[in-house]
Chain A
Amino acid sequence: AQSVTQLGSHVSVSEGALVLLRCNYSSSVPPYLFWYVQYPNQGLQLLLKYTSAATLVKGINGFEAEFKKSETSFHLTKPSAHMSDAAEYFCAVSDGKLTFGQGTILTVHP
Chain B
Amino acid sequence: NAGVTQTPKFQVLKTGQSMTLQCAQDMNHEYMSWYRQDPGMGLRLIHYSVGAGITDQGEVPNGYNVSRSTTEDFPLRLLSAAPSQTSVYFCASSYQGQAITGELFFGEGSRLTVL
Contacts and interface: CB of A to CB of B under 8 A. Distances in A.
Interface of A: 4, 9, 32, 34, 41-46, 49, 51, 90, 92-94, 96-98, 100-103
Contact of A49 (B4, B100, B101): B101
**4 closest Cβ contacts across the A-B interface?**
A94-B102, A43-B106, A100-B42, A98-B102
B2 interface: no
Given A9-B40, A90-B43, A98-B45, 20 more contacts: A34-B102, A41-B108, A41-B109, A42-B108, A42-B109, A43-B90, A43-B92, A44-B90, A44-B92, A46-B104, A49-B103, A51-B101, A92-B102, A94-B100, A94-B101, A96-B100, A97-B45, A100-B42, A102-B40, A103-B40
Contacts of B92: 43-44
Q: A-side binding surface: helix, strand, loop or mixed?
A: strand
Highest count of chain B CB atoms <10 Å: which of A34, A92, A96, A100 = A100
B75 interface: no
Contacts, number: 52
Nearest to B6: A43
Nearest to B109: A43
27 contacts: A4-B42, A32-B101, A32-B102, A41-B108, A41-B109, A42-B108, A43-B90, A43-B109, A44-B43, A44-B90, A44-B92, A44-B104, A46-B103, A46-B104, A49-B101, A49-B102, A90-B42, A93-B102, A94-B100, A94-B101, A96-B100, A97-B58, A98-B104, A100-B35, A100-B44, A101-B42, A103-B40
